Structure 1
Amino acid sequence: MSLLTNILTELQDRIAAGESLLILHTDDEPRAAEAIGQLAEKLQRNMHTWSLSTGLQPANDPHLQQLRTPAEFLREVRTAEPGQLFLAKDLQYFLTDFSVIRLLQDQAQTYQGNPLLLVGPEFSLPPSLAKVVSVLSLPLPDFEEIAGCLAETLACLPTPPRISRSFQERMVKSVIGLSLQQARRAYQRVLHGRQDVGEEVMTQLISEKKSLLQGSNLLEFHELGETADDIGGLEGLKEWINRRAKAFSPEARKRNVGQPKGVLLLGVQGCGKSLSARVIARQLSFPLIRLDFGNLLQGERGSSEQNLREVLRMMDGIAPAVLWIEELDKGFSGLSAEEENRDAVLARMFGLFLTWMQEHTTPIFVVATANAIENLPPELLRRGRFDELFFIDLPNFHERKHIYRIHLSRRGCNPEDYNIEELSDKTEGYSGAEIEQIVNSAVIDAYTRDCLPTQKDLLDTADLIVPLSITMEEKVFNLREWAKSRCRPATPDSRIMRMIEDEHRKGELMSEESEFEDPWMEPLRTGDLPGAILEFVRATDHVTFPKLVQAFSTHVPTTGTAALTLESDPLVILWQGLDSQFAEAIAKYINNKRFFLNPVDVAHYQKLGTVLKLPYIPQLKDKPMPREVWYPCLLRIMPPREGSGRLRNVVVHHEG
Structure 2
Amino acid sequence: MANKVEFKTSLLRMFRARIPFISIRSIERARVLEVVQQLAEEINIPIYVHSLSHGTMDIKTRKSVNDDRSVAGGLDYAVQYISQKQNLTFVFNEVSDIEDDNLVSRHIYDCVIQAIERGGSICLITTKSIWPQLQRLGMTITLNAPNEEEMLEVVKDCVTPYKNSIPLEWDETDYKMAATILANMTKIEAENVLATQMAKGSLTKDDIRELSNAKDKLFSDISGLEKVKIDPATLSVAGLSGLQNWLDNQKKLLTSNLKARKMRPPRGVLLVGVPGCGKSLSAKFIAANWNLPLYRLDLAAIQGQYLGQSENRLKEALASADNAAPCILWIDEIEKGLAGATSSNDGGTSIRMLGQFLFWLQESEAKVFVVSTANDVSKLPPELLRRGRFDELFFVDLPGNQERKDIINLYIQRNLLNRPTEGILTKLIEISEGFAGSDLEGAVRDVAIQAVIHGDDIVNDELFEKCFKNIVPLSKTAPERIEAIRIWGRERAVPASGISWNTTPYDSAAGKRSIII
Q: TM-score range by the shorter chain?
A: 0.7 to 0.9
* Contact 2:418 2:459 (8 Å CA) reproduced: no
- Per-residue deviation, 1:182: 1.7
Q: Distance in 1 between matches of 2:54 and 2:465?
A: 74
- Shift in CA distance, 422/11, structure 1 to aligned 2, threshold 3 Å: same
CA deviation after TM superposition for structure 1 residue 13, in Å: 1.3
1:336–1:374 contact (8 Å) kept in structure 2: no
2:56 counterpart letter in structure 1: L
CA shift at 1:285, angstroms?
4.7
Q: Check whether the contact 1:287–1:322 (CA below 8 A) recurs between aligned residues.
A: yes
Contact (CA 8 Å) 1:161, 1:194: kept in 2 or not? no
Would the alpha carbon gap of residues 457 and 240 (structure 1) be closer, same or farther in structure 2, given more than 3 Å must change? same
Q: Give the letter aligned to residue 74 of structure 1.
A: L
- Confirm or deny that 1:440 pairs with 2:441: no
Instruction: Determine the structure 2 residue equivalent to 1:39.
Output: 39
Residue 387 of structure 1 aligns with an amino acid whose one-letter code is D
The aligned amino acid for 2:434 is: G
Query: Match of 2:140, SS?
Result: strand
C-alpha deviations, 1:57-97, integer Å up to 9, x for none?
45999985631211001112223355654332210356668
CA distance in 1, matches of 2:259, 2:429: 45
Partner secondary structure for residue 49 of structure 2: strand
- Opposite residue 454 of structure 1, the aligned amino acid is V
Code of the residue aligned with 1:468 in structure 2: it is L
Q: After superposition, what is the alpha-carbon deviation per residue over 1:499-546, rounded to whole angstroms, capped at 9, x for unaligned? A: xxxxxxxxxxxxxxxxxxxxxxxxxxxxxxxxxxxxxxxxxxxxxxxx
Alpha-carbon offset, residue 225 of structure 1: 3.6
Q: Give me the whole-angstrom Cα distance separating, in 1, the residues matched to 2:426 and 2:175.
A: 42
Alpha-carbon shift at residue 408 of structure 1 (Å): 2.9
| Contact 2:338–2:353 (Cα < 8 Å) also in 1 | no
Tell me how far apart the structure 2 counterparts of residues 303 and 184 of structure 1 sit (CA, whole Å).
38
> Which 5+ residue runs of structure 2 have no aligned equivalent?
504-516
1:159-200 deviations in whole A, cap 9, x for unaligned?
13212322322222112121112222222233432646345x
| 1:579 corresponds to | none
| Structure 2 CA distance for partners of 1:264 and 1:95, relative to 1, 3 Å | closer
Q: Could you tell me how far 1:477 is from its partner in structure 2?
A: 0.9
**Cα distance change on mapping 1:421 and 1:183 into 2, 3 Å:** farther
TM-aligned CA distance change 1:95 to 1:264, over 3 Å: closer
Once residues 44 and 363 of structure 2 are traced to their aligned partners in structure 1, the CA distance between those partners, rounded to angstroms, is 41
Q: Which residue of 2 aligns with 1:640?
A: none
Distance 1:166 1:453 in 2: 50
Q: 1:191 to 1:445 in 2, by over 3 A?
A: farther
Distance in 2 between residues matched to 1:381 and 1:95, nearest whole Å: 44
CA, structure 1 residues 411+341, in 2 after alignment: closer, same or farther (shift >3 Å)?
closer
Are 2:302 and 1:296 aligned?
A: yes
Q: Name the amino acid aligned to 1:55.
A: G
Q: 2-side partners of 1:416 and 1:87: how far apart? A: 76
Change (3 A) 1:417 1:35: farther
Q: Which amino acid aligns with 1:218?
A: G
Is this contact kept in 1: 2:490–2:501, CA < 8 A?
Answer: no
Q: Deviations over 1:268-309 (max 9, x none)?
A: 112111121223334455433221001221011111111122
Task: Tell me, in whole angstroms, the C-alpha distance in 1 between the residues paired with 2:356 and 2:2.
Answer: 29
C-alpha offsets along residues 453-482 of structure 1, whole Å, 9 cap, x if unaligned?
623433333233222222222211111111
Q: CA deviation at 1:417?
A: 8.1
Q: CA deviation at 1:421?
A: 4.2
Distance 1:167 1:62 in 2: 42
| Residue matched to 1:86 | 90
Instruction: Deviation per CA, 1:210-255: give whole Å up to 9, x if none.
Output: 3564554411233454489711021111111222233333433333
> How far off is 1:105 after superposition?
0.5
Match of 1:395, SS state, is: coil
Q: Is 1:169 matched with 2:176?
A: yes
Q: 1:320 to 1:351 in 2, by over 3 A?
A: same
Question: 1:513 aligns to what?
Answer: none
2:432 maps to: 427
Aligned residue among 360, 369, 376 for 1:372: 376
Partner in structure 2 of residue 8 of structure 1: 8
Residue 44 of structure 2 aligns to a residue in which SS?
coil
Please state if 1:460 is matched with 2:466: yes
Give secondary structure in 2 for the equivalent of 1:117: strand
- Structure 2 distance, partners of 1:61, 1:154, is 28
- Cα deviation, residue 420, structure 1: 4.5
After superposition, the Cα gap between the structure-2 partners of 1:322 and 1:351, relative to the gap in structure 1 and judged at 3 Å, is same
Equivalent position SS for 1:294: coil
- Alignment match, 2:314: 308
Q: How does 1:394-409 map to 2 (within 5 A)?
A: 394-409=398-413
Assess, with a 3 A threshold, how the Cα gap between structure 1 residues 453 and 142 changes in structure 2: closer, same or farther: farther
| CA–CA distance in structure 1, aligned partners of residues 136 and 78 of structure 2 | 21
Q: Aligned letter for 1:66?
A: D
- Mapped pair 1:363 → 2:367: yes
Question: Is structure 2 residue 358 aligned with structure 1 residue 351?
Answer: no
Matches for 1:490-639 after TM superposition, within 5 Å: 490-493=496-499
Shift of 1:416: 8.3
2:11 maps to amino acid: L
Task: Give, in whole Å, the separation in 2 of the partners of 1:321 and 1:481.
Answer: 33
Given that residues 327 and 369 in structure 2 are in contact (C-alpha distance below 8 angstroms), is that contact kept between their aligned partners in structure 1?
yes
Partner AA of 1:54 in structure 2: H
Give distance in 2, aligned partners of 1:107 and 1:101.
10
Residues 400, 424 of structure 1: 8 Å contact kept:
yes
User: Counterparts of 1:135 and 1:268 in 2: how far apart (Å)?
Assistant: 52
**Are the counterparts in 2 of residues 260 and 387 from structure 1 also a CA contact under 8 Å?**
yes
Q: Is the 8 A contact 1:210 1:221 kept in 2?
A: no
Kept in 2, the 8 Å contact 1:174–1:287? The answer is: no
TM-score, normalised by the number of residues in structure 2: 0.86
Shift of residue 486, structure 1, vs aligned partner: 0.7
Q: Distance in 1 between matches of 2:363 and 2:9?
A: 26
The CA deviation string for residues 580-637 of structure 1, in whole angstroms up to 9 with x for no partner, is xxxxxxxxxxxx9xxxxxxxxxxxxxxxxxxxxxxxxxxxxxxxxxxxxxxxxxxxxx
Residue 161 and residue 428 in structure 1: after superposition, are their counterparts in 2 closer, same or farther (change >3 A)? farther
1:267 to 273, 295, 298: 273
CA distance 1:55–1:357, shift in 2 (3 Å):
same
Per the alignment, do residues 63 and 139 of structure 1 end up closer, same or farther by CA in structure 2, a change over 3 Å counting?
A: closer
Gaps of 5+ in 1: 498-591, 593-656
Please give the root-mean-square deviation of Cα atoms over the aligned residues, in Å: 3.1
Asked whether the 8 Å contact 1:245–1:283 carries over to 2, the reply is: no
CA distance in structure 2 between the partners assigned to 1:95 and 1:282 by the alignment = 44
| Distance in 2, Cα, partners of 1:324 & 1:272 | 14
Q: TM-score, normalised by structure 1?
A: 0.69
Change beyond 3 A, Cα 1:410–1:48: farther
Asked if the contact 2:396–2:496 (Cα under 8 Å) also holds between the matched residues in 1, the reply is yes
Paired-residue identity, %: 29
What is the CA deviation profile of residues 392-417 of structure 1, one whole-angstrom value per residue up to 9, with x for unaligned ones? 01222222222233333333346588
Q: Distance in 2 between matches of 1:99 and 1:447?
A: 74
